[in-house]
Structures are given as structure tokens and as C-alpha cells.
Amino acid sequence: MDNKTYTAGLAELRGVRDEIKPLERQLMKLKSELDKLYARRDQKIVSLGGFEKAKADRLATSAGVSVIDVVTLVPSLGPQAPASAPAEAAPTDQPTEDHTEPQTAAQPIKEPPGAPAPALGTPGQPGTVAHPQTGSDEGERQEQQLPAEDPAAEPAPAAPASPAPPEPGTVPQQERVLPSIPAGETGDRWFRAEPNLMSTRPNFVQAARQMVFLDTATGVLVWQGGQVTVDLGRAGVADILTAVYATVPADVERIYITAGDPWHQNAAGHQWLKDAVAEWLNGPLPEGWRVESSRGKDRQAGHLVHPRNPVGRWQRGDQHTEIRSVGEWFDPAGADPATVREAFVLLWKALRRHWDDVVLMGSPSQTGRDLWSRTIPSKTGAKWADGFPVMSQEIRGLLHATAGQGRTELITPPRVPEKIPGWYEADRTFAYAKHTWSSGVGVPQRVTAAAFAALSEKEQGNLLFSPSHWQVRVTIPQGWNHVGLLPAPAPGERSWHYPYEGGRTFVTWAGGAEVNLALRNPLQPWGIEILDGLVWQKGEPLKGWANKLKDAWQSLRAMSGHHGDEQQRQAARLASRAVRSILLYGIGTFAQRPRITTGSVELGADGEVPEIPDGARLTGLTDTHATWERDGGFARDPYAHPEWAAGVWSAARAALLSAGTGTKDAAGKPVKAGALHLPPGSILAFRTDAIYSSVRPDWPYQGEPGDYLLKGAMDWELGTPTTEDEFYDLQRLGRQALEAGDQ
């Protein structure tokens, strides 16, 4: 082939591309319409299925679906279990680790009278309270609130929230009630540190674990000694252990699966994905192998039954091994095992610039916590050199029950039009790294409604700008026509929603960042009454750790854009995503939720289920094994700091609504970004750090943590998503359209 033929071929290829584009658009529109028809059909089946004389076969014939499809939508039309059959508990998707101590429940109290928060206004408006420290940027001041998050307290009655009117045709559900702090001395006793429990710098170096990388779809195995293709048979546990250890040394202790997801190979045979995973983990083993039962104080024995990123642990004599998913660290995006291994090498090198003793542990959360612990001050006389105190179990339980994580919300008609002019996804880059520069440290101070009311307006403002967590009565102003600002408890365990109806009043807990945002948002201040609160002294326990991770992230991002070798560029991209996971999940480990212990037992003769531990419940049953779960409560974890996790999460949720961009417009005014800076009725969804809208956001992007990056765009008319499946379809299509330049 010569240059002329090659150039002509490119021109022909562009012509094919241009023919494909309009057809893809038509296909997207047709799929959107078809999905809506499917939804109408299913709704009609459910409606008709409620008739007492309804028959599954007649409905199936009329709808053009199978009887199984009808019974799935209307279970009452299917065969019913006998009255004596035990109710089966649905498996949960919670991570599983060991904890031992039960928690103390928050006590029900009578709701106290509230103290109105000061009218902070917005910067430059009358009534604005000056920040107690220097600095003029409103976005930066909002980000100083870093309240708390984690341990679970039994929900105790607090003031009932005003319920939203139920959607037509739905059965109203009772909202979850959040706990309160007991009145008087009982509640005051919560405000203490756990005795003899501190976060201190470790005096040892983690042991490095040898690892290999395996694509179970192709059989390609890569390790320090080279690359081979192995025969994995059906890719069961026995097949993998046999093939891997026939090739690599026995001191390899970690097998990362890069592609193939072998634990899902029988997913079609199970209602729940976790059951398929449990069946795979409990499959036959080679001779001499068994499930790991013990391995030192810092390791958890047994399997972690996670639906997508499980961890299997086995041993053969003194030999121990894990099979893990590389998806814990990043989406490999089709990368081969050699490239994935190179990503881990680049990750280690980038981190070693800041930590001489860095060791990549099994998961990013473990690695993040270990690296953070090595930033604790050690110099004699330095502040917190003796360690960071862990708060009382009662306060940790309160934070667990009242401080949520990322905002997840799908906004559907009639709040938004059924047809939208476009679809745009704006995602905050490395968002949590933006909110780690100031956190609450030490034992918090309690601020009751009466104590708050007794303060001057300036003192009240100073408290609201401190790291804090507040129980508040919220009143949404009449005429409010945008999204909700503050989380409120919704039906279901740890579920949250965001009330938005003008005139509505409800009681909730919120971090200081969000309370400030509600009081000084750019549209209209909300009414806030303080009922109770926790206020910490300001510190920087996460700043040094996060700054080092940000430096590693930036260096890897630069390499991914400029390296001359494509494999190195791809590996650097994956490594930068791993750094993001280290920070993201590292922050999550501070939350220290009450952990769930999982395990499995082999069935006895005639399928008899042997005894399971006290307090456990069955979550899965196969032909050979029964899987169980047990709530282990809280352990005496020296790294339990839910106040830090909750503070970052609160600040990130507030920044989804309004945040500074570090730039100015032509008139010299600061440019702001966030949902409240887009028109009412244009917000379609929130997903942790991302906003989805029908209007294209025009916000500057400089590649810094917290900047909004346009990740998906379709600038033609579409149907508004009304289900999670429709949402994810549009998310995928929007990203493809932007990447192809077809928008």
C-alpha cells in the first residue's frame, strides 16, 4: 500500500463514518421510544394483574411476552409458597469484614425547641457573616466544613419530618427516623474519647505480597518472571489455583483477575448475583487446599462475597493466597494483563516519591489507610504527635446513622419535561481531594439549641463555619423551584432523598458545609433552626496525605498524556485512577461502618444445613454450601474517624450545588459552578460527583481536583430517563457521542 492508496482509504473511511452517524441518532431515538413503550406495557400488566380474576397466561398473550415475564412483574399470579415456608432474607451488598463490639443505641428524646441560624446571606449581600479566618473566596470558605460520618446507632425517635405527598398510585412508605442526642447529662457523657484508643504512626513496615495478573477469558498470566498462556478449563477456583501454581512460585500470595469475571459464570442460574459469586468461591478445591481460617491479627480469614469485586482466600499448609478483582482499583477498560501489571508498577513508583516504605496492599482502601497512618506527626512536641483520639462509640454511632455519602438522585417528570433538548454529563475531577485541607479533630463540643441561641450572631456564624454536624429543622422557602439542598431520611436502610417542595418543613442532620450552602445559596436562603450540634476544633489530619496523593495523581496524568509509548500511556492512566481509588476508599475506611462477617458451611448428608454462628442468617444456598451473614457491630479500631469521612462527603455534596472554580469572568467576578448555576428544571440526575442536565454547562476546566469535566453530551432531543436502566443507557450513549465528536 502506498501513500495515495492510504489517503484514499481514509477518505472512504470518513464517508462510512458520516453514513453511520445519522443512523446511530435514529437508533438512539427509536430505542428511547421503544423503552417508553416497554415501560407502558409493564405498567399496564401490573395494573391489570391486580384484578382478582386476572390470569398470567391471558396477560402474557395480550402483551406478547412470556408467562414468566408476567409473573416477574406480578408475583401474585405465580405459584405461591406454602404458608409454612420460611421467609428468605434477601442478601445485601455490604462489604464484609470482622468487628466485635456491639454499639450503644441513641436514646429517644423529646425534640427540643430550635434556635434560628443567622441570615448569612450570600457574599456581598447584607447580612453576610465574616469568616473568622482570612480568605475571600466563598467556595473555599464553604469547603472548610468537614463534619462526621459512620458508625451505626439504632435509630431513635427524633422529630418527625413532614412527608412529601406520595406519587399517584403508590403506597406511602414510612420515612426512616434519625436518632438524636439524649438530653442533659446522659447526652453529655457521649462527648468523650474512647480510653486508650488513638490513631498513632506505625513503627513497622508492611510485608510486601507477591502478585500475578490473570485474564481468565484468554488464560494470559503475567508476573515478575514473565508471561504465559495457561489452560484454565472452566475457570473455577480449582482450575485457577492449579494452573497458576503450576507456573509461578508458591510465595505468590495475590492473584488479580484483570478480565473474565469467572465468579459470574453461573449468574443466569441465580436470582442474586451474590449467590453466583458465593457458589463460585465455594467450588471444589485442589487436593490439600482449604478456605483460609486464620492469618495474623491484621488479616481477615474467609471470603468476601461481593457481587462484583469478591475476595477469595485459601491456604495449603503454610501457603496462603487470595484471588481478587482488579476492579477494586480501576476499570481496566480492556487492558491486557501486562499493561495492568505495569500500571501497578507505575503506581508504586509514583507513591514511593512520597513514602519510602510504601507497600501496595490488597485493596485501595487498605493501602490508603496505611499510607495515611504514615503521615501522622512523629516529631516530639508536634501537635497530635501522640496520636488522634477516637471518639466515643455513641458519637460514632450517631454519625453513622445521620451522615450519608454521595448524592444519588434521578429526577423524573413532572419535575422535568418528558422531552429534553439534550443530555450533558459534568463530572468533578478527583473531587474528594478538593475537600481534605481542613477537618475536625479531637473530641467535639456539644452545642444545644439553647447554647446556640445564647451566642451573638458573629459567634453563631463562626460555629457554622467550623467543622460541624447539625441537627436542624429546615423550612424550604415558598416559591422555591430548583433542586433540594439538604438530605433527609427516606424509607429504607440508610436511604436519603432531597426535599424540594416550597413551604415544606422537615428535621434532619447535615454537615456544616451543607447548612452553610442552604443559608447562603445563590438563589434564595432556606430557613434553618439549630436543634443540636457537634463542633470540632479545626485541624489538618488529611491534608498532607491528600497532597501527596494529588502530586502522584498529577504526575501520572501528565505521563498518560505525553509518554511516547502507548502501553505506558495506558498504564499511567490506569495508575492515576488507582490513586483516585486510594483517596476515595481511604476516606471511606475512616467511616468504619459496623462490619458484616460472612462465611459459608458445607452441607451435611441429605442437604442438611449444619449449625451456623449465633446471630447469623442464611443469605445463600447451593447444592453444596450455605452462606451466612452476621452483623459484627463496631471493633476498637484505632483508625475510626467518621468525622473526617462525613466532612468530606458533606463538602462534596455542597459543591455539587455551588462551588468556586478559581477563575473570573470578563467583569472580574468569580465564576461559580454547580447545579444551582443551571436553569430550574434542567437537572436530570446526580451521581456522587456528577451532574446530568438538559442544558450544556459552560464551566472552565483546568484539570485541577474539583473541576467539572464534560464527560458526555448529546445535543438533540431525547426522552427523559425515568428508570435506572434508561439513565445508564443515556450515560453510555452520551459518553460515546462526545468521544466520537458527534454532538
Shared domain for 577 and 603, answered yes or no, is no
Give yes or no: residues 609 and 569 share one domain.
no
Q: Is the pLDDT of residue 535 over 60?
A: yes
Which residues on adjacent β-strands are paired with residue 618?
Answer: 628
Mention every residue, 6+ apart, whose C-beta is less than 8 A from residue 385: 376, 377, 378, 379
169/632: higher pLDDT = 632
Helical (H) or strand (E) element with 419: strand 419-420
For the cut 60, the answer to whether the pLDDT of residue 112 exceeds it is: no
Residues 584 and 600 in one domain: no
Within a domain: residue 462? no
Q: Are residues 313 and 238 in the same domain?
A: yes
The answer to whether residues 214 and 356 belong to one domain is: yes
pLDDT digit string (tens) for 574-624? 999 999 999 999 999 999 766 666 666 677 655 566 666 666 776 666 666
Number of domains in the chain: 3
With respect to residue 700, please indicate whether it lies within any of the assigned structural domains: no
229 and 215 within one domain: yes
Q: How many C-beta atoms lie closer than 10 Å to residue 123's C-beta?
A: 15
Is 670 inside a domain boundary?
no
**Is 216 in the same domain as 280?**
yes
Q: Let me know: does 309 contact 334? Beta carbons within 8 Å.
A: no
Does residue 516 lie in a domain region?
A: no
Rounded Cα distance, 306 and 278, in Å: 9
Whole-angstrom distance, CA of residue 368 vs CA of residue 360 = 9
Residue 697 covered by a domain: no
Is residue 628 in a domain?
yes
In angstroms, the CA 548 to CA 666 distance is 34
- Kind plus residue range of the DSSP H or E element containing 255: strand 252-259
- Cross-strand pairs, 445: 535
- Is 259 contained in some domain? yes
Give the whole-angstrom CA distance, residue 111 versus residue 121. 27
Q: Are 509 and 403 in contact (CB under 8 A)?
A: yes
Burial (CB count <10 Å: 0-12, 13-18, 19+), residue 327 = middle
Give the per-residue pLDDT at 43.
83
Nearest to 227, CA basis, from 206, 189, 201, 258: 258
Q: Map 556-578 to HEC letters.
A: HHHHHHHCCCHHHHHHHHHHHHH
Mind listing the pLDDT tens digit for each residue in 501-519? 999 999 999 999 999 999 9
Half-sphere exposure in the Cβ direction for 626 (13 Å, CA): 16
Residue 262 sits in the same domain as residue 331: yes
Neighbour-count burial of 520, counting CB atoms closer than 10 A to its CB (0-12 exposed, 13-18 middle, 19+ buried): buried
More confident residue, 236 or 742: 236
Claim to verify: residue 588 and residue 616 sit in the same structural domain: no
Query: Distance between CA 660 and CA 673 in Å, rounded?
Result: 6
56 Cβ contact list (under 8 Å, min separation 6): 49, 67, 70, 71, 74, 77, 78
Across 483-526, the runs of DSSP E, i.e. the strands, are 488-489, 496-497, 505-511
Q: What is the pTM of this model?
A: 0.75
Give the domain-ending residue among 30, 55, 77. Answer: 77
Q: How would residue 556 be classed by pLDDT, with cut points 50, 70 and 90?
A: very high
Domain range for 268: 210-370+545-594
Question: How many Cα atoms occupy the beta-carbon half-sphere of 218 within 13 Å?
Answer: 16
Claim to verify: residue 579 and residue 608 sit in the same structural domain: no
Q: Do 582 and 601 belong to one domain?
A: no
SS3 content of the chain, % helix, strand, coil (to 5): 35, 20, 45
CA atoms within 13 A on the CB side of 76: 10
For residue 225, being part of any structural domain is answered with yes
Do 615 and 568 sit in the same domain of this protein?
Answer: no
Predicted local distance difference test score (pLDDT) of residue 305 = 86
DSSP state of 318: T
